[in-house]
Structure 1
Amino acid sequence: MTGDTQAGGDIGFIGCGVLTEAVVRGIRARSSHPVIRLSPRSDSVSRRLAGEFPDVIREASNKDVVRRCQTVFLAVRPDQLDHALDGLEFREDQTVVSFVATTPVARIAALVAPAHRICRVTPLPGIARRQGPVILFPALPEIEALFQDLGDLIVARSEDEISDLGSVSGMMSQFFMVQQALAGWLETRGVAPDAALLYVRSMLAMLGETALESRGVTSGALVEGHETPGGLNAHVRQSLAQAGVFDAYAAALDSVMDIKL
Protein backbone atom coordinates (compact mmCIF):
# COMPACT_ATOMS: atom_id res chain seq x y z
CA MET A 1 0.00 0.00 0.00
CA THR A 2 3.04 2.24 -0.22
CA GLY A 3 5.54 3.02 -2.92
CA ASP A 4 6.16 5.44 -5.76
CA THR A 5 3.14 7.05 -7.37
CA GLN A 6 2.24 5.38 -10.64
CA ALA A 7 0.66 8.22 -12.59
CA GLY A 8 -0.94 8.04 -15.99
CA GLY A 9 -1.86 5.05 -18.09
CA ASP A 10 -5.22 3.58 -18.99
CA ILE A 11 -7.76 2.84 -16.29
CA GLY A 12 -10.02 -0.18 -16.31
CA PHE A 13 -13.15 -1.42 -14.56
CA ILE A 14 -13.91 -5.01 -13.62
CA GLY A 15 -17.65 -4.90 -13.27
CA CYS A 16 -19.70 -2.48 -15.31
CA GLY A 17 -22.90 -1.61 -13.50
CA VAL A 18 -24.63 1.55 -12.32
CA LEU A 19 -21.74 2.82 -10.20
CA THR A 20 -19.12 2.22 -12.90
CA GLU A 21 -21.30 4.07 -15.40
CA ALA A 22 -21.62 7.03 -13.04
CA VAL A 23 -17.85 7.21 -12.44
CA VAL A 24 -17.06 6.90 -16.15
CA ARG A 25 -19.49 9.70 -16.97
CA GLY A 26 -17.95 11.90 -14.31
CA ILE A 27 -14.44 11.30 -15.61
CA ARG A 28 -15.54 11.84 -19.20
CA ALA A 29 -17.10 15.19 -18.27
CA ARG A 30 -13.58 16.59 -17.90
CA SER A 31 -11.77 18.32 -20.71
CA SER A 32 -8.94 15.78 -20.39
CA HIS A 33 -9.28 12.17 -19.32
CA PRO A 34 -7.52 8.81 -19.61
CA VAL A 35 -8.50 5.96 -21.88
CA ILE A 36 -11.06 3.83 -20.02
CA ARG A 37 -11.35 0.07 -20.57
CA LEU A 38 -14.44 -1.83 -19.43
CA SER A 39 -15.10 -5.46 -18.67
CA PRO A 40 -17.89 -6.91 -20.83
CA ARG A 41 -20.37 -7.29 -17.96
CA SER A 42 -22.86 -5.87 -17.75
CA ASP A 43 -23.26 -6.15 -21.47
CA SER A 44 -25.77 -3.33 -21.89
CA VAL A 45 -23.84 -0.76 -19.83
CA SER A 46 -20.43 -1.55 -21.34
CA ARG A 47 -21.81 -1.40 -24.88
CA ARG A 48 -23.68 1.84 -24.18
CA LEU A 49 -20.62 3.62 -22.77
CA ALA A 50 -18.29 2.33 -25.49
CA GLY A 51 -20.78 3.43 -28.14
CA GLU A 52 -21.14 6.88 -26.63
CA PHE A 53 -17.50 7.77 -25.90
CA PRO A 54 -14.60 7.24 -28.33
CA ASP A 55 -11.98 6.65 -25.61
CA VAL A 56 -14.08 4.14 -23.66
CA ILE A 57 -13.28 0.63 -24.87
CA ARG A 58 -15.26 -2.51 -24.15
CA GLU A 59 -12.77 -5.35 -23.67
CA ALA A 60 -13.51 -8.99 -24.38
CA SER A 61 -12.63 -10.17 -20.86
CA ASN A 62 -11.51 -9.16 -17.38
CA LYS A 63 -8.06 -10.47 -18.26
CA ASP A 64 -7.79 -7.94 -21.08
CA VAL A 65 -8.72 -5.12 -18.69
CA VAL A 66 -6.00 -6.10 -16.21
CA ARG A 67 -3.40 -6.67 -18.92
CA ARG A 68 -3.91 -3.27 -20.57
CA CYS A 69 -4.50 -0.95 -17.61
CA GLN A 70 -2.28 0.82 -15.10
CA THR A 71 -5.14 1.39 -12.66
CA VAL A 72 -7.82 -1.26 -12.16
CA PHE A 73 -11.14 -0.62 -10.42
CA LEU A 74 -12.99 -3.50 -8.79
CA ALA A 75 -16.71 -2.74 -9.11
CA VAL A 76 -18.48 -5.97 -8.22
CA ARG A 77 -20.56 -7.17 -5.28
CA PRO A 78 -18.71 -8.84 -2.40
CA ASP A 79 -20.15 -12.24 -3.28
CA GLN A 80 -18.85 -11.87 -6.86
CA LEU A 81 -15.31 -10.84 -5.97
CA ASP A 82 -13.54 -14.22 -5.91
CA HIS A 83 -15.13 -15.32 -9.18
CA ALA A 84 -14.42 -11.99 -10.92
CA LEU A 85 -10.72 -12.12 -10.00
CA ASP A 86 -10.20 -15.82 -10.60
CA GLY A 87 -7.25 -16.37 -12.95
CA LEU A 88 -6.34 -12.68 -13.26
CA GLU A 89 -2.66 -11.78 -13.09
CA PHE A 90 -1.98 -8.34 -11.62
CA ARG A 91 1.39 -6.58 -11.87
CA GLU A 92 3.45 -5.08 -9.08
CA ASP A 93 3.33 -1.62 -10.66
CA GLN A 94 -0.47 -1.47 -10.89
CA THR A 95 -2.85 0.47 -8.66
CA VAL A 96 -6.03 -1.33 -7.60
CA VAL A 97 -9.07 0.62 -6.45
CA SER A 98 -11.91 -1.24 -4.77
CA PHE A 99 -15.57 -0.18 -4.79
CA VAL A 100 -16.44 -3.50 -3.10
CA ALA A 101 -18.57 -2.77 -0.05
CA THR A 102 -17.49 -4.05 3.38
CA THR A 103 -14.31 -5.65 1.99
CA PRO A 104 -11.09 -4.53 3.74
CA VAL A 105 -7.97 -3.44 1.89
CA ALA A 106 -6.09 -6.43 3.33
CA ARG A 107 -8.58 -8.82 1.74
CA ILE A 108 -8.20 -7.10 -1.64
CA ALA A 109 -4.41 -7.16 -1.30
CA ALA A 110 -4.42 -10.92 -0.89
CA LEU A 111 -6.39 -11.31 -4.11
CA VAL A 112 -4.41 -8.93 -6.35
CA ALA A 113 -0.81 -9.59 -5.28
CA PRO A 114 1.83 -8.66 -6.32
CA ALA A 115 0.01 -5.33 -6.85
CA HIS A 116 0.39 -3.42 -3.58
CA ARG A 117 -0.91 0.09 -4.26
CA ILE A 118 -4.46 -0.59 -3.11
CA CYS A 119 -7.24 1.63 -1.80
CA ARG A 120 -10.97 1.71 -1.30
CA VAL A 121 -13.21 4.39 -2.82
CA THR A 122 -16.92 4.84 -2.14
CA PRO A 123 -18.56 7.26 -4.58
CA LEU A 124 -22.29 7.94 -4.87
CA PRO A 125 -24.34 8.07 -8.10
CA GLY A 126 -24.11 11.88 -8.25
CA ILE A 127 -20.47 11.49 -9.29
CA ALA A 128 -21.82 11.28 -12.84
CA ARG A 129 -22.53 15.04 -12.45
CA ARG A 130 -19.32 15.53 -10.44
CA GLN A 131 -21.34 16.03 -7.28
CA GLY A 132 -21.54 14.39 -3.89
CA PRO A 133 -19.06 12.93 -1.41
CA VAL A 134 -16.30 10.53 -2.45
CA ILE A 135 -14.58 8.59 0.35
CA LEU A 136 -10.99 7.39 -0.13
CA PHE A 137 -8.81 5.17 2.09
CA PRO A 138 -5.88 5.05 2.28
CA ALA A 139 -4.67 8.16 0.46
CA LEU A 140 -2.89 7.42 -2.82
CA PRO A 141 -1.81 10.58 -4.69
CA GLU A 142 -2.78 9.33 -8.15
CA ILE A 143 -6.27 8.36 -6.97
CA GLU A 144 -6.72 11.63 -5.10
CA ALA A 145 -5.85 13.42 -8.34
CA LEU A 146 -8.30 11.30 -10.33
CA PHE A 147 -11.23 11.99 -7.99
CA GLN A 148 -10.31 15.49 -6.81
CA ASP A 149 -12.84 17.33 -8.97
CA LEU A 150 -15.45 14.57 -9.26
CA GLY A 151 -17.19 15.62 -6.04
CA ASP A 152 -16.21 16.42 -2.47
CA LEU A 153 -13.25 14.17 -1.72
CA ILE A 154 -12.97 12.92 1.87
CA VAL A 155 -9.85 10.97 2.83
CA ALA A 156 -10.87 8.65 5.67
CA ARG A 157 -8.51 8.05 8.58
CA SER A 158 -9.37 4.36 8.91
CA GLU A 159 -11.55 1.64 7.42
CA ASP A 160 -13.90 2.02 10.38
CA GLU A 161 -14.37 5.62 9.32
CA ILE A 162 -15.28 4.48 5.80
CA SER A 163 -17.99 2.32 7.34
CA ASP A 164 -19.29 5.13 9.53
CA LEU A 165 -19.38 7.66 6.71
CA GLY A 166 -20.87 5.17 4.29
CA SER A 167 -23.70 4.38 6.71
CA VAL A 168 -25.05 7.88 6.24
CA SER A 169 -25.64 7.10 2.56
CA GLY A 170 -28.52 5.01 3.89
CA MET A 171 -30.36 8.31 4.35
CA MET A 172 -30.75 8.97 0.62
CA SER A 173 -34.16 7.38 0.01
CA GLN A 174 -35.66 8.93 3.17
CA PHE A 175 -34.59 12.34 1.83
CA PHE A 176 -37.06 11.86 -0.99
CA MET A 177 -39.66 10.64 1.48
CA VAL A 178 -39.26 13.99 3.27
CA GLN A 179 -39.84 15.72 -0.06
CA GLN A 180 -42.91 13.58 -0.62
CA ALA A 181 -44.29 14.33 2.85
CA LEU A 182 -43.83 18.08 2.48
CA ALA A 183 -45.26 18.23 -1.04
CA GLY A 184 -48.10 15.94 -0.02
CA TRP A 185 -49.04 18.27 2.83
CA LEU A 186 -49.12 21.19 0.39
CA GLU A 187 -51.43 19.20 -1.87
CA THR A 188 -53.85 18.63 1.01
CA ARG A 189 -53.98 22.43 1.29
CA GLY A 190 -55.01 22.71 -2.35
CA VAL A 191 -51.63 23.51 -3.92
CA ALA A 192 -51.21 22.06 -7.41
CA PRO A 193 -48.97 18.92 -7.33
CA ASP A 194 -46.40 20.30 -9.78
CA ALA A 195 -46.10 23.57 -7.88
CA ALA A 196 -45.88 21.79 -4.52
CA LEU A 197 -43.09 19.48 -5.66
CA LEU A 198 -41.13 22.24 -7.39
CA TYR A 199 -41.30 24.47 -4.32
CA VAL A 200 -40.11 21.73 -1.96
CA ARG A 201 -37.33 20.48 -4.23
CA SER A 202 -36.08 23.99 -4.98
CA MET A 203 -36.08 24.92 -1.28
CA LEU A 204 -34.18 21.81 -0.22
CA ALA A 205 -31.68 22.21 -3.08
CA MET A 206 -31.12 25.82 -2.00
CA LEU A 207 -30.44 24.72 1.58
CA GLY A 208 -28.00 22.05 0.40
CA GLU A 209 -26.09 24.62 -1.63
CA THR A 210 -26.06 26.99 1.34
CA ALA A 211 -24.53 24.28 3.52
CA LEU A 212 -21.86 23.38 0.96
CA GLU A 213 -20.94 27.04 0.51
CA SER A 214 -20.65 27.49 4.29
CA ARG A 215 -17.59 25.36 4.99
CA GLY A 216 -16.19 26.19 8.37
CA VAL A 217 -19.64 27.19 9.64
CA THR A 218 -21.14 24.75 12.13
CA SER A 219 -24.52 23.14 11.57
CA GLY A 220 -25.68 24.76 14.79
CA ALA A 221 -24.80 28.17 13.40
CA LEU A 222 -26.75 27.42 10.24
CA VAL A 223 -29.76 26.42 12.34
CA GLU A 224 -29.59 29.70 14.21
CA GLY A 225 -29.18 31.62 10.97
CA HIS A 226 -32.34 30.12 9.51
CA GLU A 227 -34.76 30.75 12.37
CA THR A 228 -35.93 33.48 14.69
CA PRO A 229 -37.14 32.91 18.27
CA GLY A 230 -40.82 32.00 18.16
CA GLY A 231 -40.80 31.98 14.36
CA LEU A 232 -41.95 29.41 11.83
CA ASN A 233 -38.66 27.51 11.54
CA ALA A 234 -38.09 27.40 15.29
CA HIS A 235 -41.60 26.06 15.84
CA VAL A 236 -41.23 23.26 13.26
CA ARG A 237 -37.77 22.26 14.51
CA GLN A 238 -38.90 22.14 18.13
CA SER A 239 -42.01 20.15 17.24
CA LEU A 240 -39.90 17.58 15.39
CA ALA A 241 -37.40 17.40 18.26
CA GLN A 242 -40.20 16.80 20.77
CA ALA A 243 -41.54 14.03 18.53
CA GLY A 244 -38.12 12.34 18.64
CA VAL A 245 -37.44 12.70 14.93
CA PHE A 246 -33.77 13.67 15.26
CA ASP A 247 -33.12 10.94 17.84
CA ALA A 248 -34.73 8.48 15.43
CA TYR A 249 -32.12 9.36 12.79
CA ALA A 250 -29.32 8.34 15.14
CA ALA A 251 -31.13 5.14 16.10
CA ALA A 252 -31.67 4.22 12.45
CA LEU A 253 -27.98 4.76 11.67
CA ASP A 254 -26.94 2.70 14.69
CA SER A 255 -29.06 -0.14 13.32
CA VAL A 256 -27.32 0.11 9.94
CA MET A 257 -24.04 -0.87 11.59
CA ASP A 258 -25.51 -4.30 12.38
CA ILE A 259 -26.42 -5.00 8.75
CA LYS A 260 -24.04 -7.25 6.79
CA LEU A 261 -24.36 -6.08 3.20
Structure 2
Amino acid sequence: MKRIGIIGVGEIGRAIVVGLCDGADKPPEVFLSPRGARTAAELSERFEGVRVCAGNQEVVDRSEVVIIAVRPLDRHEALAGLSVDGDKIVVNVMAGVGNDELRRMLATDAPLVRAIPLPPVRERDSVTVTFPSHPVVDSLFERLGGSLAVEDEAAFNVFSALTATLTTHLSYLTTLTSWAVGHGVPSDVADHYVRGLFQGVGRALSDETRSLHQLAADHETPNGSNERIRTTWFTPANSEALNKVLDDLLARLK
Protein backbone atom coordinates (compact mmCIF):
# COMPACT_ATOMS: atom_id res chain seq x y z
CA MET A 1 0.00 0.00 0.00
CA LYS A 2 2.05 2.89 -1.32
CA ARG A 3 -0.54 5.35 -2.65
CA ILE A 4 -3.48 6.63 -0.59
CA GLY A 5 -6.05 9.15 -1.73
CA ILE A 6 -8.29 11.21 0.55
CA ILE A 7 -11.42 12.95 -0.70
CA GLY A 8 -12.50 15.49 1.90
CA VAL A 9 -9.64 16.98 3.91
CA GLY A 10 -11.33 18.00 7.14
CA GLU A 11 -10.34 17.11 10.70
CA ILE A 12 -10.37 13.35 10.13
CA GLY A 13 -8.60 13.59 6.77
CA ARG A 14 -5.90 15.76 8.34
CA ALA A 15 -5.48 13.36 11.27
CA ILE A 16 -5.03 10.39 8.93
CA VAL A 17 -2.36 12.19 6.90
CA VAL A 18 -0.44 13.26 9.99
CA GLY A 19 -0.65 9.78 11.50
CA LEU A 20 0.64 8.16 8.32
CA CYS A 21 3.40 10.66 7.57
CA ASP A 22 4.68 12.37 10.71
CA GLY A 23 7.93 10.68 11.75
CA ALA A 24 7.23 7.60 9.63
CA ASP A 25 10.22 5.76 8.16
CA LYS A 26 8.44 4.93 4.90
CA PRO A 27 5.31 7.06 4.58
CA PRO A 28 2.99 6.37 1.65
CA GLU A 29 2.34 8.83 -1.11
CA VAL A 30 -0.85 10.69 -0.25
CA PHE A 31 -3.09 12.42 -2.78
CA LEU A 32 -5.57 14.98 -1.46
CA SER A 33 -8.69 16.42 -3.01
CA PRO A 34 -8.87 20.20 -3.40
CA ARG A 35 -11.79 20.29 -0.95
CA GLY A 36 -10.51 21.90 2.25
CA ALA A 37 -7.92 23.77 0.21
CA ARG A 38 -6.17 25.47 3.13
CA THR A 39 -5.69 22.24 5.06
CA ALA A 40 -4.62 20.34 1.96
CA ALA A 41 -2.04 23.00 1.07
CA GLU A 42 -0.69 23.01 4.62
CA LEU A 43 -0.25 19.24 4.62
CA SER A 44 1.44 19.22 1.21
CA GLU A 45 3.93 21.81 2.43
CA ARG A 46 4.59 19.89 5.65
CA PHE A 47 5.09 16.41 4.17
CA GLU A 48 7.15 15.68 1.08
CA GLY A 49 4.99 12.81 -0.20
CA VAL A 50 1.65 14.63 0.08
CA ARG A 51 0.20 16.21 -3.06
CA VAL A 52 -2.96 18.18 -3.75
CA CYS A 53 -4.80 17.04 -6.87
CA ALA A 54 -6.76 19.17 -9.31
CA GLY A 55 -9.95 17.23 -8.66
CA ASN A 56 -11.46 14.16 -7.04
CA GLN A 57 -11.11 11.97 -10.13
CA GLU A 58 -7.36 12.53 -10.09
CA VAL A 59 -7.29 11.45 -6.44
CA VAL A 60 -8.99 8.19 -7.41
CA ASP A 61 -6.83 7.58 -10.47
CA ARG A 62 -3.53 8.03 -8.63
CA SER A 63 -4.40 5.97 -5.53
CA GLU A 64 -4.59 2.33 -4.54
CA VAL A 65 -6.75 3.06 -1.48
CA VAL A 66 -9.30 5.89 -1.63
CA ILE A 67 -10.61 7.27 1.67
CA ILE A 68 -13.89 9.16 1.35
CA ALA A 69 -14.09 11.58 4.25
CA VAL A 70 -16.51 14.25 3.05
CA ARG A 71 -19.39 15.38 5.23
CA PRO A 72 -22.43 13.18 4.56
CA LEU A 73 -24.44 16.19 3.39
CA ASP A 74 -21.78 16.93 0.75
CA ARG A 75 -21.50 13.41 -0.61
CA HIS A 76 -23.65 13.84 -3.71
CA GLU A 77 -21.77 16.92 -4.90
CA ALA A 78 -18.33 15.52 -4.04
CA LEU A 79 -18.81 12.09 -5.58
CA ALA A 80 -20.94 12.93 -8.63
CA GLY A 81 -19.50 11.49 -11.81
CA LEU A 82 -16.57 9.72 -10.18
CA SER A 83 -15.31 6.60 -11.95
CA VAL A 84 -13.77 4.06 -9.56
CA ASP A 85 -12.17 0.97 -11.12
CA GLY A 86 -12.63 -2.40 -9.47
CA ASP A 87 -8.95 -2.69 -8.56
CA LYS A 88 -9.23 0.22 -6.09
CA ILE A 89 -10.12 -0.15 -2.40
CA VAL A 90 -12.58 2.42 -1.08
CA VAL A 91 -12.73 3.31 2.61
CA ASN A 92 -16.00 4.96 3.63
CA VAL A 93 -15.69 7.11 6.77
CA MET A 94 -18.95 9.03 6.25
CA ALA A 95 -21.16 8.61 9.31
CA GLY A 96 -24.58 7.18 8.53
CA VAL A 97 -23.79 6.40 4.88
CA GLY A 98 -23.87 2.64 4.31
CA ASN A 99 -21.80 0.78 1.75
CA ASP A 100 -24.88 -0.21 -0.26
CA GLU A 101 -25.71 3.45 -0.82
CA LEU A 102 -22.09 4.31 -1.61
CA ARG A 103 -21.84 1.47 -4.12
CA ARG A 104 -24.94 2.76 -5.91
CA MET A 105 -23.49 6.27 -6.00
CA LEU A 106 -20.13 5.15 -7.37
CA ALA A 107 -21.46 2.31 -9.55
CA THR A 108 -18.30 0.34 -8.81
CA ASP A 109 -17.32 -3.25 -8.08
CA ALA A 110 -14.39 -2.11 -5.93
CA PRO A 111 -14.21 -3.42 -2.35
CA LEU A 112 -15.91 -0.99 0.05
CA VAL A 113 -14.98 -0.85 3.73
CA ARG A 114 -16.63 1.35 6.36
CA ALA A 115 -14.39 2.79 9.08
CA ILE A 116 -14.64 5.07 12.12
CA PRO A 117 -11.24 6.78 12.50
CA LEU A 118 -11.09 9.35 15.29
CA PRO A 119 -8.81 12.40 15.64
CA PRO A 120 -6.24 10.61 17.88
CA VAL A 121 -5.13 8.59 14.84
CA ARG A 122 -2.84 11.58 14.26
CA GLU A 123 -0.79 10.31 17.21
CA ARG A 124 -1.30 6.70 16.10
CA ASP A 125 -3.19 6.20 19.34
CA SER A 126 -6.77 5.25 18.46
CA VAL A 127 -8.42 1.97 17.51
CA THR A 128 -10.48 2.26 14.31
CA VAL A 129 -13.60 0.14 13.85
CA THR A 130 -14.01 -1.34 10.35
CA PHE A 131 -16.57 -3.37 8.41
CA PRO A 132 -16.13 -5.65 6.62
CA SER A 133 -12.64 -6.82 7.45
CA HIS A 134 -10.17 -6.25 4.62
CA PRO A 135 -6.45 -7.03 5.02
CA VAL A 136 -5.24 -3.86 3.32
CA VAL A 137 -7.58 -1.56 5.26
CA ASP A 138 -6.98 -3.33 8.55
CA SER A 139 -3.23 -2.97 7.98
CA LEU A 140 -3.66 0.74 7.25
CA PHE A 141 -5.43 1.38 10.54
CA GLU A 142 -3.04 -0.85 12.47
CA ARG A 143 -0.43 1.76 11.55
CA LEU A 144 -2.67 4.41 13.09
CA GLY A 145 -3.24 2.77 16.48
CA GLY A 146 -5.12 -0.42 15.80
CA SER A 147 -8.00 -1.93 13.85
CA LEU A 148 -11.17 -3.54 15.20
CA ALA A 149 -13.10 -5.37 12.48
CA VAL A 150 -16.73 -6.14 13.41
CA GLU A 151 -18.89 -8.94 12.06
CA ASP A 152 -21.79 -7.01 10.57
CA GLU A 153 -23.09 -3.54 9.81
CA ALA A 154 -25.46 -3.61 12.78
CA ALA A 155 -22.50 -3.87 15.16
CA PHE A 156 -20.67 -1.18 13.19
CA ASN A 157 -23.61 1.20 13.69
CA VAL A 158 -23.52 0.57 17.46
CA PHE A 159 -19.88 1.63 17.57
CA SER A 160 -20.70 4.64 15.40
CA ALA A 161 -23.33 5.71 17.92
CA LEU A 162 -20.86 5.33 20.78
CA THR A 163 -18.44 7.76 19.13
CA ALA A 164 -21.18 10.40 19.25
CA THR A 165 -20.75 10.62 23.04
CA LEU A 166 -17.26 12.17 22.90
CA THR A 167 -18.21 15.84 22.93
CA THR A 168 -20.76 15.17 25.67
CA HIS A 169 -17.90 13.88 27.82
CA LEU A 170 -15.83 16.97 27.03
CA SER A 171 -18.79 19.22 27.80
CA TYR A 172 -19.09 17.46 31.16
CA LEU A 173 -15.48 18.40 31.90
CA THR A 174 -16.17 21.95 30.77
CA THR A 175 -19.09 22.14 33.20
CA LEU A 176 -16.89 20.95 36.06
CA THR A 177 -14.32 23.62 35.23
CA SER A 178 -16.97 26.33 35.04
CA TRP A 179 -18.37 25.25 38.40
CA ALA A 180 -14.92 25.61 39.99
CA VAL A 181 -14.46 29.04 38.41
CA GLY A 182 -17.84 30.06 39.81
CA HIS A 183 -16.49 29.25 43.25
CA GLY A 184 -13.45 31.48 42.89
CA VAL A 185 -10.84 29.18 41.33
CA PRO A 186 -8.90 30.87 38.50
CA SER A 187 -9.96 29.54 35.12
CA ASP A 188 -6.52 28.31 34.06
CA VAL A 189 -6.01 26.55 37.39
CA ALA A 190 -9.40 24.82 37.22
CA ASP A 191 -8.79 23.79 33.61
CA HIS A 192 -5.36 22.36 34.43
CA TYR A 193 -6.67 20.40 37.40
CA VAL A 194 -9.70 18.91 35.63
CA ARG A 195 -7.54 17.83 32.68
CA GLY A 196 -5.04 16.14 34.98
CA LEU A 197 -7.77 14.52 37.07
CA PHE A 198 -9.36 12.78 34.10
CA GLN A 199 -6.12 12.04 32.29
CA GLY A 200 -5.18 9.96 35.33
CA VAL A 201 -8.45 8.07 35.18
CA GLY A 202 -7.99 7.65 31.43
CA ARG A 203 -4.67 5.89 31.95
CA ALA A 204 -6.41 3.39 34.20
CA LEU A 205 -8.57 2.38 31.23
CA SER A 206 -5.54 0.70 29.65
CA ASP A 207 -5.72 -1.96 32.39
CA GLU A 208 -8.11 -4.37 30.70
CA THR A 209 -7.76 -6.92 33.49
CA ARG A 210 -10.36 -4.82 35.33
CA SER A 211 -13.87 -4.29 34.00
CA LEU A 212 -15.25 -0.78 33.74
CA HIS A 213 -17.54 -1.62 36.65
CA GLN A 214 -14.52 -2.66 38.71
CA LEU A 215 -12.60 0.49 37.79
CA ALA A 216 -15.52 2.57 39.01
CA ALA A 217 -15.65 0.61 42.26
CA ASP A 218 -11.91 1.04 42.74
CA HIS A 219 -12.32 4.83 42.56
CA GLU A 220 -15.25 4.92 44.96
CA THR A 221 -15.43 4.64 48.75
CA PRO A 222 -18.73 3.36 50.22
CA ASN A 223 -20.73 6.36 51.44
CA GLY A 224 -17.98 8.62 50.11
CA SER A 225 -18.02 11.69 47.90
CA ASN A 226 -17.80 9.86 44.55
CA GLU A 227 -20.70 7.61 45.49
CA ARG A 228 -22.73 10.65 46.54
CA ILE A 229 -22.31 12.38 43.16
CA ARG A 230 -22.94 9.19 41.19
CA THR A 231 -26.09 8.17 43.01
CA THR A 232 -27.64 11.65 43.25
CA TRP A 233 -26.77 12.96 39.78
CA PHE A 234 -26.34 9.93 37.52
CA THR A 235 -29.67 8.43 38.52
CA PRO A 236 -31.51 5.54 36.85
CA ALA A 237 -33.62 8.16 35.08
CA ASN A 238 -30.50 9.82 33.63
CA SER A 239 -29.16 6.44 32.58
CA GLU A 240 -32.45 5.65 30.86
CA ALA A 241 -32.38 9.02 29.08
CA LEU A 242 -28.87 8.31 27.79
CA ASN A 243 -29.94 4.90 26.53
CA LYS A 244 -32.94 6.50 24.82
CA VAL A 245 -30.90 9.09 22.92
CA LEU A 246 -28.42 6.40 21.86
CA ASP A 247 -31.28 4.21 20.63
CA ASP A 248 -32.69 7.16 18.65
CA LEU A 249 -29.30 7.85 17.07
CA LEU A 250 -28.82 4.18 16.22
CA ALA A 251 -32.16 4.16 14.45
CA ARG A 252 -31.03 7.13 12.35
CA LEU A 253 -27.70 5.49 11.53
CA LYS A 254 -29.51 2.43 10.22
Task: Give TM-score, length-normalised by structure 1.
Answer: 0.87
State whether structure 2 residue 201 is matched by structure 1 residue 207.
yes
Q: CA deviation at 1:137?
A: 0.6
State whether structure 2 residue 237 is matched by structure 1 residue 244.
yes
User: Which stretch of the first structure deviates more once superposed, 147-156 or 14-23?
Assistant: 147-156
Aligned to 1:5: none
CA–CA distance in structure 1, aligned partners of residues 160 and 146 of structure 2? 14
Cα displacement string for residues 105-126 of structure 1 (whole angstroms, at most 9, x for unaligned residues): 1222334454432101111222
Query: Which aligned pairs between 1:72-111 and structure 2 lie closer than 5 A?
Result: 72-111=66-105
Alpha-carbon RMSD: 2.2
CA–CA distance in structure 2, aligned partners of residues 79 and 175 of structure 1? 25
Query: Which aligned pairs between 1:3-22 and structure 2 lie closer than 5 A?
Result: 8-22=1-15
Alpha carbons of 1:65 and 1:238: their partners in 2 closer, same or farther (altered >3 Å)?
same
Query: Which aligned pairs between 1:142-221 and structure 2 lie closer than 5 A?
Result: 142-211=136-205, 213-221=206-214
Aligned to 1:130: 124
Aligned pair count reads: 253
Match of 2:18 among 16, 25, 29: 25
User: Which stretch of the first structure deviates more once superposed, 222-231 or 238-247?
Assistant: 238-247
Alpha carbons of 1:85 and 1:182: their partners in 2 closer, same or farther (altered >3 Å)?
closer
Aligned to 2:226: 233
CA–CA distance in structure 2, aligned partners of residues 157 and 51 of structure 1? 39
Q: Is the 8 A contact 1:75 1:99 kept in 2?
A: yes
Alpha carbons of 1:200 and 1:146: their partners in 2 closer, same or farther (altered >3 Å)?
same
Q: Is the 8 A contact 1:95 1:115 kept in 2?
A: no
Cα displacement string for residues 65-111 of structure 1 (whole angstroms, at most 9, x for unaligned residues): 11111111112233433333333322222111111222221222334
Q: 2:216 aligns to what SS in structure 1? A: helix
CA–CA distance in structure 1, aligned partners of residues 59 and 235 of structure 2? 55
State whether structure 2 residue 45 is matched by structure 1 residue 56.
no
Match of 1:257 among 238, 246, 250: 250
Cα displacement string for residues 198-233 of structure 1 (whole angstroms, at most 9, x for unaligned residues): 11111111111211x112421111111111212222
CA–CA distance in structure 2, aligned partners of residues 233 and 205 of structure 1? 17
Between the two proteins, what is the percent identity of the paired residues?
27
Amino acid at match of 2:226: N
Q: 1:103 aligns to what SS in structure 2? A: coil
Aligned to 2:62: 68
User: Which stretch of the first structure deviates more once superposed, 188-197 or 13-22?
Assistant: 188-197
Alpha carbons of 1:236 and 1:83: their partners in 2 closer, same or farther (altered >3 Å)?
closer
Gaps of 5+ in 1: 1-7
Q: CA deviation at 1:260?
A: 6.5
Task: Give TM-score, length-normalised by structure 2.
Answer: 0.90
CA–CA distance in structure 2, aligned partners of residues 68 and 103 of structure 1? 24
Match of 1:121 among 115, 122, 132: 115
Cα displacement string for residues 38-73 of structure 1 (whole angstroms, at most 9, x for unaligned residues): 111122121111111110011112121111111111
Alpha carbons of 1:184 and 1:83: their partners in 2 closer, same or farther (altered >3 Å)?
closer
Q: 1:244 aligns to what SS in structure 2? A: helix
Gaps of 5+ in 2: none
Q: Is the 8 A contact 1:39 1:46 kept in 2?
A: yes
Aligned to 1:37: 31
Q: Is the 8 A contact 2:180 2:190 kept in 1?
A: yes
Q: CA deviation at 1:152?
A: 4.4
Q: 2:164 aligns to what SS in structure 1? A: helix
User: Which stretch of the first structure deviates more once superposed, 76-85 or 46-55?
Assistant: 76-85
CA–CA distance in structure 1, aligned partners of residues 146 and 243 of structure 2? 23
